[in-house]
């Protein structure tokens, strides 16, 4: 009878060991399921007045991201192809409680930045995009989203070379709050040409292009 008892007990023990094994298993492949979001904020000229809207978008994105996801907020200034322009970056912890703490800290960092931001004389959007591509490729996330919070008018300092093709295969590039400039009001074709130019650049680099000007449509921002 003892021999008969053994398999049953061993089955119970094996079941528990499996359950505990699963519980103990804290390492695994991250890259296949996480999301990567890189947000570029235009700080040139009068666009700094729009930064409150950028904060809303950042908060929304923070609420949507989960454990294992990466989020970076960087500024677009005279020369944006630099790690120095990164305002805040985070890869959320596996534990939800820790991830929530990180989100709070991230929000605080952004708030501090917005309070102390100084406007930049030039707008190097391409440099920012190149930096975003480099960062997200390094993180090797499943989805890669670059959000450009700008009027999309690029103004480069003399000597900066930005006529570089963008390798955006697997990237979603979303232009947010593309405001109309005074000159756009005089000739709307300028605005349309600007959008077309960036759309072509992104699509030539095999990326997907989207524009969201209505902040009520943010639900389409983060792909699941």
Partner 1 sequence: MQLPDFMMIFSSSLGLSILLWLVVITVLLYMARRPAHEAILSVSKILFHAFRLLSSSILLAEKKLKQRNREVLLASGKIASEHIVEREFERIDAFVKKDLSKFPTLQREITDSIVKLDEDYQKSTEIPPAPPGWTKAIEPIASIPPSEDSMVAEILKSIKDALEKAQGNALAAYRTSSEKRHAFLKNMVPVLRHINKDLLGLDKNVQTLLERSATIDRHMDDYKQISEKTDRAVQTLSSSSMTQFFIAGFVLAIAVGGAFINFNLISRPMQEMVGGSVYMMGFKVADIAALVIILVEVSMGLFLMESLRITRLFPVIGALEDKVRIRMIIVSFVFLFLLASVEAGLAYMRELLSVDDAALVAGLLGNGAVEAVVGVEESGRWITTAAQMGMGFILPFALTFIAIPLESFIHSSRTVIGVLLAGLLRLSAVFLRFLGNISKYFGKSLVNIYDLFIFLPLWIEGLLLNKKDKTGLVLAVANSESGAVNSAAAPATIKKRTPRKTTASKEKEVTEEIKEVL
Which of 63/186 has CB closer to partner 1? 63
Residue pair 183/105 in contact by the 8 Å Cβ criterion: no
Give the dihedral sign, CA 168/128/54/68.
Answer: positive
Closer to partner 1 by CB, 4 or 186: give it: 4
Smallest separation, CB 3 to partner 1 (Å): 10
- CA distances 219 to 62, 71, 101, Å, are 13, 17, 23
Of 66 and 185, CB closest to partner 1: 66
Contact yes or no for 152/194 (Cβ under 8 A) = yes
204 token code pair: 């030539």
**Binding interface with partner 1 (CB under 8 A):** 1-2, 4-5, 7-9, 11-12, 15-16, 18-19, 22-30, 32-34, 59-60, 62-63, 66-69, 92, 94-97, 99-100, 103-104, 107
Q: How far is the CB of 35 from partner 1 (least distance, A)?
A: 10
Minimum distance between the CB of residue 114 and partner 1, rounded to whole angstroms?
Answer: 15
Nearer to partner 1, 55 or 179 (CB): 55
Parallel, antiparallel or unpaired: strands 171-176 and 143-149: parallel
Nearest distance, CB of residue 12 and partner 1, angstroms: 7
Residue 174 CA to residue 168 CA, distance in Å, equals 12
């Amino acid at each position: 009878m003892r021999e008969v008892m053994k398999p049953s007990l061993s089955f119970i023990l094996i079941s528990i060991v499996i359950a505990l094994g699963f519980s103990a298993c804290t390492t695994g492949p991250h890259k296949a399921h996480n999301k990567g979001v890189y947000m570029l904020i235009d700080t040139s000229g009068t666009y700094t007045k729009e930064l409150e809207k950028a904060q809303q978008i950042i908060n929304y994105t923070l609420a949507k991201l989960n454990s294992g996801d990466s989020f970076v907020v960087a500024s677009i200034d005279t020369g944006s192809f630099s790690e120095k322009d990164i305002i805040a970056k985070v890869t959320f912890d596996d534990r939800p409680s820790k991830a929530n703490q990180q989100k709070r800290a991230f929000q605080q960092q952004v708030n501090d930045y917005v309070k102390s931001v100084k406007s930049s004389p030039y707008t190097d959007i391409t440099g920012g995009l190149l930096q975003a591509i480099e960062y997200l490729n390094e993180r090797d996330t499943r989805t890669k989203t670059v959000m450009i919070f700008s009027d999309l008018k690029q103004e480069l300092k003399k000597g900066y070379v930005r006529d570089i093709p963008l390798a955006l295969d697997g990237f979603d590039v979303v232009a947010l709050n593309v405001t109309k400039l005074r000159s756009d009001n005089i000739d709307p074709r300028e605005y349309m040409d600007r959008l077309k130019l960036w759309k072509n650049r992104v699509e030539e680099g095999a990326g997907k292009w989207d524009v969201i000007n209505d902040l009520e449509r943010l639900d389409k921002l983060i792909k699941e």
